[in-house]
Amino acid sequence: MSADLVRIRTGVYHDSVSLMKVSQAVTALAGVEVAVVAMATELNREMAAELGFDLPEADPADLLVALRAGDPGTLEAADAELDRLLAALTGASAEVAAAAAHPPRTVRAAARGRACTLALVSVPGPYAFAEAMDAIEAGLSVMIFSDNVPVEQEVLLKRRAGELDVLVMGPDCGTSVIGGVGLGFANVLRPGPVGMVAASGTGAQQVSCLLDLAGVGVSHVLGVGGRDLSKEVGGRSTLRALQALDADPATELIVLISKPPAPEVAHAVREAVAALETPVVTALLGTGSGDLTTAAETALRALGVPVPAWRSWPAPATPGAHGRTGTLRGLYSGGTLCAEARLVAGAGEFTDFGDDAYTRGRAHPMIDPTLRLEALAEVPAGDVALLDVVLGHGADPGPAARLAPAVAAAVGRGVPVVVALVGSAGDPQRPDVQAEALRAAGAAVFASNAQAAGHASGLLASPR
């Protein structure tokens, strides 16, 4: 009979990526059935409760440990290994701190006396505002990778950045490329003449990867955060980033990417674009500007580069794959890719698992696919599943290893699976390898998310 162990540790914090790796290592031990090692946020507590664990009261700042093994002896051994792994995390942090005789205690102190122009903030959302404001007051531009930052704080940060003539990228800025250096989730891109301003990490990754596959590189990719073109924020960072790229001699063409913007902000951005000297291709989804693939193709034509046939890997022939009357289920890790698929497909049920509601206290789905795998397992026969797989530095080093068995299981019970694979030829995961593994499992794979969404929608005779 299985044995459970549940513990709450106070005064212990580790980032979600480190804890995910610990969870995976303990789960892989022989005889261990379930291992949840995560901060005790509401979402993580709900997940543990759904797994059948009896949980005590806990604060979101506490560490939750929930283990289940086949027998008490295995459970005890797993707990000991967990302690060793957590101690190693703490030891690594101590070694880093001890490496400097007098480590700086603030961003401003760290920047003092150094030729710094940019700070990267990646701390839990409630603490991001103070660190980002410290960077701005030090005269630094700042990329805020952190999510779950209140919009009121974002407005304050961007207002102050405007006064000090620096740029705020974020909050929830997943991707930027500055002078060839990728920050956050970043693909391996060749240098080139295209600069990007993106209120979307995965949108920027899709367009830049398509350009790269066509032989065209980028100068910079300036992420501005998914809310920048909202009515509340007013496009403050977008306008500043457009001006910066317009002044950059290495940028010959600008591509502007966003999820559906507030109408009044879209109007202001278009007026600003009209005043620039550098030509701009806009991909403001939902405003008649077309999809992300169309934007990449427009950019190529503007540069005089032929538009290639975007790669695809057709699924093995499956009887009854077409003409279904079920529902299209979009299970996405990228918010803009999810919004684009919804617009292209025109109907279906779509979930953005990269939304703040799903990432509070746990790793982003581009790193940890657990929630999406669970959702895929619940798609009923007769429906069609549509997913994105985003490659590059920071993302899952081998997504097909965990996704392919789930795809094969879905296809086996009568669920066609379509995958949008976003990656460049230089990415460490090797797109061809990932695509072939997913295709072998039964999925249809496309380099273009728009084409993937169109294909998935076309499998349904009467989508609803």
**Of 77, 98, 119, the domain-final residue:** 98
pLDDT score, position 254: 98
* Residues 365 and 410: beta-carbon distance below 8 Å: no
Confidence of residue 430 (pLDDT cuts 50, 70, 90): very high
Q: Treating both helix axes as pointing N-terminal to C-terminal, what angle do 449-458 and 335-345 enclose, rounded to 10 degrees?
A: 40
**Of 261, 279, 302, the domain-final residue:** 302
How far is residue 411 from each of residues 64, 118, 320, 328, 438, measured CA to CA in Å?
35, 46, 11, 14, 11
**Whether residues 323 and 267 fall in one domain:** no
C-alpha to C-alpha distance for 269 and 188, rounded to whole angstroms: 29
Which one-letter DSSP state was computed for residue 261?
P
Residue type at 101 in one-letter notation: A
pLDDT score, position 12: 79
Tell how strand 168-169 and strand 417-422 pair up: unpaired
Confidence of residue 285 (pLDDT cuts 50, 70, 90): confident
- Highest average pLDDT, of 17-31, 244-258, 260-274, comes from 244-258
**Of 98, 121, 138, the domain-final residue:** 98
Mean pLDDT, rounded, for 310-327: 79
The candidate with the shortest Cα–Cα distance to 9, out of 51, 66, 85, 53, is 66
**Whether residues 7 and 57 fall in one domain:** yes
Say yes or no to pLDDT of 22 above 90.
Answer: no
Q: Is the pTM of this model over 0.85?
A: no
Say yes or no to pLDDT of 48 above 90.
Answer: no
Q: Treating both helix axes as pointing N-terminal to C-terminal, what angle do 431-440 and 399-412 enclose, rounded to 10 degrees?
A: 20
* Residues 266 and 284: beta-carbon distance below 8 Å: yes
**Whether residues 321 and 443 fall in one domain:** yes
3-class secondary structure, 324: strand
Domain interval for residue 24: 3-98
**Whether residues 81 and 49 fall in one domain:** yes
How far is residue 436 from each of residues 207, 298, 365, 451, measured CA to CA in Å?
22, 29, 21, 18
What is the domain count for the chain?
Answer: 3
Mean pLDDT, rounded, for 344-371: 86
pLDDT digits (tens, 9 = 90+) for 373-404: 999 999 999 999 999 999 999 888 899 998 99
Residue 276 sits in a domain whose CATH number is: 3.40.50.261
**Whether residues 12 and 137 fall in one domain:** no
% of the chain surpassing 90 pLDDT: 65
**Whether residues 36 and 121 fall in one domain:** no
**Whether residues 158 and 280 fall in one domain:** yes
**Whether residues 318 and 425 fall in one domain:** yes
**Whether residues 260 and 327 fall in one domain:** no
Which one-letter DSSP state was computed for residue 186?
B
pLDDT digits (tens, 9 = 90+) for 141-175: 999 998 889 999 999 999 999 999 999 999 989 89
